[in-house]
């Protein structure tokens, strides 16, 4: 028993010291904030005037050994005024706690769009395979032309047959492919717009952190003043000397309230920054995908020009007797460019797929590390 009772004063003393230290830190922080923030300084000045006015009224009531109706009216009026000042600041800042559901809806949409883009890359590979098949048909036609050249009375029948096969094979890029491209591109652009909109909101919330510091300081100051006034009232009723009332008020613990406000503020800031990190990663992924698609579109357009030219030359050879040699010479000139465009497009398709997969991995890692507040 003796051992237990001997520990209690020490524990109580330690708790009191910790509370006093934290209260001192909060007061110092509040005073520093008042020096740099005009609004907070004005609030503090008003608060001091009202608090001093109430304490003076209470002191006057104590001197006549009774609390007058007027002094009690000052107390209740000041408390109501201080609460209203706090309400005004809070209404101006409009507390807006983020919801995980909104963030993860964006994440789900991003991953869905990335899958659609990967599907588009698969469709692009199919088109490239068809383009390589047409390239093979042209090579066969050129081989037949070389074989038939120099043969007396040759009509280049086999060469023309291969050119007809090339013409009938047509454009490797179908209308359906371009519809898929437009759909994927549009969804990526809309995704980027939504992410930018969400990021703008988060940036505004981060700007409001300064205002929230002001709110927390105001709440702290208003609560401290309210506790001080209530303590003075209670002490004045029980022990008239004003000195005893002020001593009672100064011993009121308020550190826990300050810790709670500080904890809420820190958690809010961590949550906002965590969201922004994920949004930034998705923005980068969407931006890179759009740039990859832009490059793919340019390369497709180039390839389409070369394909159109090759088809026109094939038609010219087929429809004009004696024009085979001229058409073949033009096809030879354009074939190397055609082959290079096919290879460049294939490389870009691989780059697009790799960028999408890399972005998905990065975002998944961000989500894993994202604090669950």
Q: Which of 54-58, 197-201, 245-249 has the highest mean pLDDT?
A: 197-201
User: pTM for the complete prediction?
Assistant: 0.64
Is 121 part of any domain? yes
Is 228 part of any domain? no
Q: Is 372 left (phi over 0), alpha (psi -120 to 50) or beta?
A: beta
Higher pLDDT, 266 or 70: 266
Contacts 24+ apart (CB under 8 A), 119-126: 119/180, 120/180, 120/181, 120/184, 121/349, 121/352, 121/353, 121/356, 123/177, 123/180, 124/177, 124/296, 124/345, 124/349, 125/346, 125/349
Query: Rounded distance, CA 250 to CA 54, Å?
Result: 16
Instruction: Look up residue 179 and give its DSSP letter.
Output: H
* Rounded alpha-carbon distances, angstroms, from residue 248 to 100, 197, 236, 239, 255: 45, 53, 10, 10, 16
Higher pLDDT, 32 or 360: 360
* Rounded alpha-carbon distances, angstroms, from residue 326 to 45, 50, 75, 135, 161: 94, 100, 105, 19, 16
Q: What is the largest CA-CA distance in the chain?
A: 137
Contact 55, 232 (CB under 8 A): yes
Three-state secondary structure of 292-312 = HHHHHHHHHHHHHHHHHHHHH
Asked if residue 31 has pLDDT above 60, the reply is yes
Q: Look up the domain containing 291 and give its range.
A: 100-207+254-369
- Listed in sequence order, the residues at least 6 apart from 315 whose beta carbon sits closer than 8 Å to its beta carbon are 167
Is 27 part of any domain? no
Helices (H), ranges, 37-99: 38-63, 69-93
- Using alpha carbons, select from 192, 345, 359, 178 the residue that is nearest to residue 283: 192
Say what the pLDDT of residue 91 is: 35
Contact 272, 206 (CB under 8 A): yes
Structure tokens at 109: 């949409």
Higher pLDDT, 100 or 137: 137
Say what the pLDDT of residue 221 is: 66
Is 348 part of any domain? yes
Higher pLDDT, 245 or 138: 138
Higher pLDDT, 287 or 24: 287
Say what the pLDDT of residue 6 is: 46
* Rounded alpha-carbon distances, angstroms, from residue 270 to 57, 162, 284: 45, 67, 21
Average pLDDT over residues 190-207: 89
Structure tokens at 185: 């591109």
Residue with tokens 């009772």: 5
Is 248 part of any domain? no
Is 313 part of any domain? yes
Instruction: Look up residue 1 and give its DSSP letter.
Output: -
Say what the pLDDT of residue 63 is: 46
Query: Rounded distance, CA 62 to CA 240, Å?
Result: 6
Domain count, the chain: 1
Structure tokens at 135: 């390239």
- Helices 175-238 and 69-93, interaxial angle, to 10°? 170
- For residue 19, count CB atoms less than 10 angstroms from its CB and return exposed for 0-12, middle for 13-18, buried for 19 or more: middle
Contact 277, 203 (CB under 8 A): no
Contact 288, 188 (CB under 8 A): no
Is 267 part of any domain? yes
Task: List the Cα angle 92/259/199 in 5-degree steps.
Answer: 45
Average pLDDT over residues 293-302: 94
Is 62 part of any domain? no
């Amino acid at each position: 028993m003796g051992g237990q009772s001997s520990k209690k004063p020490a524990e109580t003393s330690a708790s009191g010291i910790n509370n006093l230290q934290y209260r001192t830190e909060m007061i110092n922080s509040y005073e520093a904030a008042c020096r740099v923030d005009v609004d907070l300084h004005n609030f503090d000045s008003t608060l001091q005037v009202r608090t001093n006015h109430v304490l003076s009224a209470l002191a006057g009531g104590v001197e006549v050994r009774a609390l007058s109706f007027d002094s009690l009216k000052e107390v209740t009026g000041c408390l109501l005024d201080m609460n209203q000042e706090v309400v005004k600041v809070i209404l101006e800042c409009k507390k807006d706690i983020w919801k995980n559901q909104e963030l993860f809806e964006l994440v789900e949409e991003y991953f869905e769009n990335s899958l659609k883009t990967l599907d588009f890359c698969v469709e692009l590979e199919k088109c490239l395979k068809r383009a390589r098949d047409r390239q093979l048909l042209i090579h066969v036609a050129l081989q037949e032309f070389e074989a038939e050249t120099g043969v007396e009375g040759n009509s280049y029948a086999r060469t023309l047959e291969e050119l007809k096969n090339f013409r009938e094979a047509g454009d490797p890029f179908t209308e359906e492919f371009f519809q898929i491209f437009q759909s994927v591109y549009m969804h990526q652009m809309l995704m980027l717009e939504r992410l930018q909109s969400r990021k703008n909101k988060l940036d505004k919330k981060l700007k409001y952190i300064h205002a929230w510091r002001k709110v927390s300081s105001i709440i702290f100051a208003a609560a401290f003043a309210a506790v001080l006034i209530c303590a003075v009232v209670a002490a004045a009723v029980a022990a008239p000397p004003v000195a005893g009332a002020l001593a009672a008020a100064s011993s009121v613990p308020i550190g826990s309230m300050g810790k709670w406000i500080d904890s809420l503020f820190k958690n809010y800031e961590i949550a906002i920054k965590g969201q922004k990190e994920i949004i930034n990663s998705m923005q980068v992924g969407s931006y890179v995908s759009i740039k990859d698609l832009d490059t793919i579109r340019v390369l497709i357009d180039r390839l389409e020009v070369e394909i159109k030219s090759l088809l026109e030359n094939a038609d010219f050879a087929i429809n004009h007797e004696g024009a085979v040699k001229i058409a073949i010479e033009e096809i030879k000139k354009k074939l190397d460019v055609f082959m290079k465009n096919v290879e460049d497009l294939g490389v870009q398709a691989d780059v697009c797929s790799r960028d999408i997969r890399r972005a998905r991995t990065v975002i998944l890692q961000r989500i894993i590390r994202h604090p669950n507040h």
